[in-house]
């Protein structure tokens, strides 16, 4: 394919959007959790993996379609987030002002890493480490030149709608505004009367819930195993760092950008270059914009 053909290819655009929308959904959750907790949830991808297993179990054991099971699985994810918040994080957030930023950083890395290991290996114990996959919505629809498998189309539509919905919610609604306020400056938000506690647990619920939902979508697309969550965590982090931590809207944009780079970059070079391009773009962007592509504040030295 010539370069022009590549750039104008509808098929590639579709693939890029599917990938991008999935990244966006994952980044959304990650940003919400980071925004409130200021902690790097390296277990986020494993939550996606759990969602995938949930859908798999629902489909193969109970015969329930993943799309039908999705709300329930997302709810379970949200509940998990709520439980973790109430159980552990509320205390840490309240009492952690004396800890230096450094310790919190590396401590939170370890904390979530410990969670990640537990989730991965507990799942492996429960489901065996075998790859899992199932066939659902695999009819291929053709619109002009573009072929779209049903499940990929569904992923794009669902993830896309959720992200746009969330963006609108954060931009327009009062609660959304409150969330953004807490993300930006918690103490100030508290002073102006925002119910910080409520915003925080809501962020957790939404954050974990969206991860579980992303997992349901992922499970339709390909194989997964208890250890396949990590790449999603990485992708999520790259996206939210690029967009600027806590900046949910920018994160969504960065996700789509990343999907585009990945798909078109590979098409123009080779599949082998995928990670080189991704990480190369990431490192370059961060070196030029130390606080993310969309940061408003000046960079540190």
Binding to other proteins in span 242-261, by CB under 8 A: 245
The mark string for 17-56 relative to other proteins (x by CB under 8 A, - otherwise) is -xx--------------x-----x----------------
Structure tokens at 195: 């119910």
Burial of 271 (0-12, 13-18, 19+ CB in 10 A): exposed
Q: Which range binds other proteins by CB under 8 A, 163-171, 182-190, 207-215, 216-224?
A: 216-224
Give the list of residues 6+ apart from residue 186 with CB closer than 8 angstroms, or none.
36, 196
Q: Is 293 in the site for other proteins (CB under 8 A)?
A: no
Q: From the CB of 149, what's the least distance to other proteins, in Å? A: 4
Question: Would you say 59 and 134 are in contact if contact means Cβ atoms under 8 Å apart?
Answer: yes
Q: Which is nearer to other proteins, 70 or 266 (CB)?
A: 266
Site for other proteins in 52-81 (CB under 8 A): none
Give the list of residues 6+ apart from residue 38 with CB closer than 8 angstroms, or none.
104, 108
Q: Is 301 in the site for other proteins (CB under 8 A)?
A: yes
Q: From the CB of 152, what's the least distance to other proteins, in Å? A: 7
Among 7, 8, 134, 188, binds other proteins (CB under 8 A): 134
143 SS3 class: strand
Question: Would you say 36 and 171 are in contact if contact means Cβ atoms under 8 Å apart?
Answer: no
Question: Would you say 142 and 245 are in contact if contact means Cβ atoms under 8 Å apart?
Answer: no
Q: Is 184 in the site for other proteins (CB under 8 A)?
A: no
Q: Which range binds other proteins by CB under 8 A, 65-73, 185-193, 250-258, 278-286?
A: 278-286
- Chain centroid, CA 282 distance in Å: 17
The mark string for 84-103 relative to other proteins (x by CB under 8 A, - otherwise) is ----x---x------xxxxx
Cα distance between residue 98 and residue 102, in whole Å: 11
Q: Is 290 in the site for other proteins (CB under 8 A)?
A: yes
The mark string for 142-181 relative to other proteins (x by CB under 8 A, - otherwise) is -----xxx--x-----------------------------
Report phi then psi at 195, rounded to 5. -80, 90
Q: Which range binds other proteins by CB under 8 A, 25-33, 69-77, 130-138, 206-214?
A: 130-138
Q: From the CB of 167, what's the least distance to other proteins, in Å? A: 23
Tell me the H-state helices in the chain.
3-8, 10-37, 44-62, 66-84, 90-95, 101-127, 150-172, 174-184, 186-191, 196-221, 230-243, 248-268, 274-288
- Chain centroid, CA 96 distance in Å: 26
Q: Which range binds other proteins by CB under 8 A, 173-181, 185-193, 205-213, 281-289?
A: 281-289
């Amino acid at each position: 394919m010539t370069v022009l053909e590549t750039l104008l290819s509808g098929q590639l655009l579709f693939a890029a959007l599917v990938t991008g929308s999935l990244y966006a959904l994952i980044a959304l959750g990650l940003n919400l959790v980071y925004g409130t907790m200021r902690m790097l949830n390296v277990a986020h991808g494993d939550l996606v993996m759990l969602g995938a297993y949930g859908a798999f179990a629902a489909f193969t054991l109970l015969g329930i379609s993943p799309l039908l099971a999705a709300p329930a699985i997302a709810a379970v994810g949200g509940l998990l987030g709520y439980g973790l918040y109430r159980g552990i994080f509320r205390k840490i957030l309240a009492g952690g002002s004396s800890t230096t930023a450094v310790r919190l950083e590396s401590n939170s890395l370890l904390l979530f890493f410990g969670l990640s290991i537990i989730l991965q290996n507990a799942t492996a114990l429960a489901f065996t480490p075998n790859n899992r996959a199932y066939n659902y919505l695999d009819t291929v629809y053709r619109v002009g030149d573009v072929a779209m498998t049903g499940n990929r189309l569904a992923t794009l539509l669902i993830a896309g709608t959720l992200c746009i919905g969330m963006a609108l919610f954060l931009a327009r609604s009062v609660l959304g505004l409150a969330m953004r306020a807490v993300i930006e400056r918690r103490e100030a938000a508290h002073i102006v009367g925002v119910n910080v506690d409520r915003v925080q647990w809501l962020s957790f619920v939404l954050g974990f819930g969206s991860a579980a939902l992303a997992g349901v979508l992922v499970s339709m697309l390909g194989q997964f195993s208890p250890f396949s969550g990590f790449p999603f965590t990485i992708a999520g982090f790259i996206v939210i760092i690029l967009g600027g931590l806590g900046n949910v809207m920018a994160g969504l944009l960065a996700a789509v950008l990343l999907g585009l780079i990945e798909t078109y970059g590979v098409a123009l070079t080779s599949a082998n270059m995928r990670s080189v391009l991704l990480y190369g773009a990431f490192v370059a962007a961060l070196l030029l914009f130390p606080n993310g592509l969309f940061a408003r504040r000046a960079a540190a030295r």
